Homo-oligomer: A and B are copies of this chain.
Amino acid sequence: MASLSHPLKPRFLSTPKPKLQTNKCPTKVRMSFQESGPSIAVVGVTGAVGQEFLSVLSDRDFPYRSLKLLASKRSAGKSISFQDRTLTVQELTADSFDDVDIALFSAGGSISKQFGPIAADKGAVVVDNSSAFRMVDGVPLVIPEVNPEAMAGIKIGNKKGALIANPNCSTIICLMAATPLHRHAKVTRMVVSTYQAASGAGAAAMHELELQTREVLEGKPPTCNIFKQQYAFNLFSHNAPVLENGYNEEEMKMVKETRKIWNDMNVKVTATCIRVPVMRAHAESVNLQFEKPLDEDTAREILKTAPGVVVIDDRTSNRFPAPLEVSNKDEVAVGRIRQDVSQEGNHGLDMFVCGDQVRKGATLNAVQIAELLL
C-alpha cells in the first residue's frame, strides 16, 4: 500500500470534521456505490487535492458504478483504500476515458490542457480544477451556489462530453459571501486582500511550513525549497508570477473570474494576494461598494440564509471567522460585517471571509458541480 500521507492530520494544525451550524450546501446527494451511478475518474489522485477528492466523494456518498484512479506513470500500480475497497492507480493515457461519465481533474494545467479535451471528446464531463480552461469562452466557470445556470444543458451520458472549470480557491471563497449581497444590491467595486494558506501551493508547501517552523524554533536556518524565503513566522506576496500590470496571476484570477462568474464585465475588482503561515484555510478582507444601498443588518440576514455560508459575527465576545475554525469544513464563514465608514449612504460594507482552501476552495466545489450533473 503506497503511503499517501496527509500533512494536515495533527490536531492543532487544523481542526477535524465540520461542526458549524449552517445552511447545508444545496446539492448534497445521499448515495454511494450504485449500478445506476455514473462512472467516475479522478485524475491526479495521488496529489493533495486528488486525495481530498476521494475524501469528499466518500463524505458525500457520491453515487458511482465505477471509480478509476488516474495519475502519472510514476504512481501507476500504487494501491489506495477507498471506502472498503482497495483500488489500484492506473497510468493516465489517451485511452483512460473510455466509458467515463465524469472526470475530476487535478493534475495541473498542462495535464488538463492535454487530456481534458480528449476526455470530453470521449463523452466525459470534465470538471477541471486547474486554471487551463477557466477563461475560455464556452467553458462554464461554476460555483454551484452562485451560477449553476452556467452549466445548463451539460449532461452525462451524451456522446459528446464537456469541459467545466472550477474557479480559483480565492475567488470561490470570496464570491460565496459576496454573491448573495451582489444579488441584493449589485456590487460595483470590490477591494480584496487575502491571507492565503500553505495548502494552495500543495502538500509540499504545507510540509515545508511545518519543517521550517520546527527549524526556526530550534534556531536552525529554515529549509527553503518551495518558496524562496522563510515562511515560518513570516508572510509574503503570493508566489504566482507577476504580470506586466504589476498584479500577480492569483490576483488577476480574482479580477477576471469574478466578472465571468457574475456575467458582469463592468464589475471592478482589485486584489492583493498574500501568503500567510497558516495550513489550509484562506481568509479574505473584502471591501464592497454597491449600486443600491444595503445596510449591515440586512446584509447579515441575507448571509445567514445563504447556502454554504455560515455567519460568525459576535462583536461582544470578539468572535469572528478564523482559518483554523473552518479548516476541514465545507462552509465558508463570514463576519466583521459592518457599514463601511469611508462610503456614504449605506453604499459600502466591509467583511472578513474564511474558507477551507482544499475543500470548498477546490474539491468540494468540483464535487458539487458533479452532483449537479446527476
Q: How would residues 268 to 283 of chain A score, 1 for a CB under 8 Å from any chain B CB and 0 otherwise?
A: 1110101011110001
Q: Contact partner of A277 among B230, B255, B277, B338, CB < 8 A?
A: B277
Smallest distance from the beta carbon of A337 to chain B beta carbons, Å?
7
Could you tell me the distance between the alpha carbons of A318 and B274 in the complex, rounded to whole angstroms?
12
Q: A296, A316, A342 — which one has the most chain B CB atoms within 10 A of its CB?
A: A342
Interface pair A274/B12, CB less than 8 Å apart: no
Contacts of A335 in B (CB 8 A): 237
Contacts of A247 in B (CB 8 A): 338, 341
Smallest distance from the beta carbon of A175 to chain B beta carbons, Å?
16
Chain B, residue nearest A210 (CB)? B217
Chain B, residue nearest A279 (CB)? B233
Q: A191-B191, A193-B193, A217-B210 are in contact. Are A352 and B255 (CB under 8 A)?
A: no
Smallest distance from the beta carbon of A161 to chain B beta carbons, Å?
35
Chain B, residue nearest A237 (CB)? B320
Contacts of A11 in B (CB 8 A): 219
Interface pair B237/A12, CB less than 8 Å apart: no
Contacts of A210 in B (CB 8 A): 217
Q: How would residues 221 to 262 of chain A score, 1 for a CB under 8 Å from any chain B CB and 0 otherwise?
A: 110000011101111110101100111100000010000000
Contacts of A222 in B (CB 8 A): 12
Interface pair B336/A234, CB less than 8 Å apart: no
Q: How would residues 74 to 91 of chain A score, 1 for a CB under 8 Å from any chain B CB and 0 otherwise?
A: 000000000000000000
Interface pair A322/B278, CB less than 8 Å apart: no
Interface pair B341/A276, CB less than 8 Å apart: no
Contacts of A232 in B (CB 8 A): 12
Q: A255-B341, A274-B195, A336-B246 are in contact. Are A229 and B10 (CB under 8 A)?
A: no
A39 within 8 A of B: no
Copies in the complex: 2
Could you tell me the distance between the alpha carbons of A221 and B13 in the complex, rounded to whole angstroms?
10
Interface pair B233/A278, CB less than 8 Å apart: yes
Interface pair A318/B283, CB less than 8 Å apart: no
Interface pair B13/A216, CB less than 8 Å apart: yes
- The contact sample of 18 A-B pairs, CB cut-off 8 A, is A12-B220, A12-B230, A12-B233, A195-B235, A209-B233, A210-B217, A230-B324, A233-B277, A236-B322, A255-B341, A255-B342, A268-B341, A268-B343, A270-B343, A270-B348, A274-B283, A276-B277, A277-B277
Question: Knowing that A235-B276, A246-B338 are A-B contacts, what are 20 other residue pairs whose CB atoms are under 8 Å apart, sorted by A's residue number?
Answer: A10-B216, A12-B216, A12-B230, A235-B278, A235-B322, A236-B322, A237-B322, A239-B318, A242-B315, A245-B341, A246-B315, A246-B337, A255-B341, A255-B342, A268-B341, A270-B348, A272-B350, A274-B283, A274-B352, A277-B277
Would you list the 4 A-B pairs with minimal beta carbon distance, nearest first?
Answer: A246-B338, A193-B193, A268-B342, A193-B285
The residues of A with any CB-CB pair to B shorter than 8 Å are 10-14, 189-191, 193, 195, 209-210, 213-217, 219-222, 228-230, 232-237, 239, 241-242, 245-248, 255, 268-270, 272, 274, 276-279, 283, 285, 287, 296, 315-318, 320, 322-324, 335-343, 348, 350, 352
